[in-house]
Amino acid sequence: MTPTDAPSSDEPLAVTRDGAVATLWLNRPAKRNAVTQAMWSGIATVCAQLGADPTVRVLVVRGTGEHFCAGADIAELSSLDDRTEYNAVNRAADDALAAFPRPTIADVRGSCVGGGAEIAISCDLRIAESTARFGITPARLGIVYPAFALERAVAVIGPAAAKHLLYSGELVGAERALHLGLVHEVHEPGQAGDRVRALAHELADERSLLTQLATKEMVASITATGAVAPDVEARWSARSAEAGDAAEGLAAFLERRPPRFTWTP
């Protein structure tokens, strides 16, 4: 993504489209895209809207300006007498991203801390600029990290790495994050956005949606229970047998041409 892709809206959340790829922008650059309660609520709403649009094949999440997200808006959070509603919309946002029905990619640069790390971890894939910095920092504030966010962090980076980041509140660079499994790829500034764009369009325009959705549900089942649930396996086996994607993929391979996958839910 280049700077010209930035949203023209001044709203704290914005959406742009590039063909079948939608980008959800955290759009408070003066505050390093710190997330307010209204933004948490809006993330869930936007995910529901884009998830219901069959023309959206991939969702990219990124921040406007030099940072992904510096976390929750601490000034707002400290002024709340009762955080029950806040916690509910926070979870709804994370759940909406994690359950988005098609592939999601976090495009990370600059700060990705606290609530920003929550958002990134809720995405399927995370690609970072080499200058990005990551942290899960409730120990700096005396806050107990939300259970749902901790579960996702442990699933992504494992219990020992999650303990280290949470115990210490330490900020780690992109290469360390790559070593921990927190990100999947690291690229130099100016190259990471191009890689995200290329990957997003590859997933959206050239790959089987049947494969992607089956993989997403099966991996979620493995993460939750340690195995693919029999009903999940049976359902996707039946869909694969009925769909034409496998025949098309094999024919395209033998004919040395790009496949034209047509399956949709």
Q: Which tokens is 128 given? A: 């970072």
Report the range of poorest mean pLDDT among 5-14, 155-164, 190-199, 222-231: 5-14
What letter would DSSP give residue 170? -
pLDDT classification of 27: cutoffs 50, 70, 90: very high
Q: Which two tokens stand for residue 177?
A: 């994050």
What is the model's pLDDT at position 190?
A: 87
Please, how many CA atoms are within 13 Å of residue 187, restricted to the half-sphere of its CB?
A: 17
Average pLDDT score, the chain: 94
**pLDDT band with cut points at 50, 70 and 90 for residue 4:** very low
pLDDT band at 3 (very low <50, low <70, confident <90, very high): very low
What's the pLDDT at 80? 82
| Cβ pair 154, 181 in contact under 8 A | no
DSSP letters, 79-105, are: T-S--HHHHHHHHHHHHHHHT-SS-EE
pLDDT by residue (tens digit) across 208-235? 999 999 999 999 999 999 999 999 999 9
**Reported confidence tier of residue 1, pLDDT bands at 50, 70, 90:** very low
What is the spatial distance between Cα 79 and Cα 185, in angstroms, rounded to a whole number?
A: 38
Locate 4 and state its tokens.
């010209």
What are the domain boundaries of the chain?
3-204, 208-255
> What is the C-alpha separation between 126 and 152, in angstroms, rounded?
14
Instruction: State residue 107 phi and psi, 5-degree precision.
Output: -100, 100
Helices 147-157 & 115-122, crossing angle to 10 degrees?
A: 60
Higher pLDDT among residues 10 and 17, named by residue:
17
How far is 42 from 10, CA to CA, in rounded Å? 14
Tokens of 108: 């990370």
d(CA 240, CA 38): 40
- Indicate the CATH number for domain 3-204: 3.90.226.10
Tens digits of residue pLDDT in 137-184:
999 989 899 999 999 999 999 999 999 999 999 999 999 999 999 999
Q: What is the pLDDT of residue 59?
A: 98
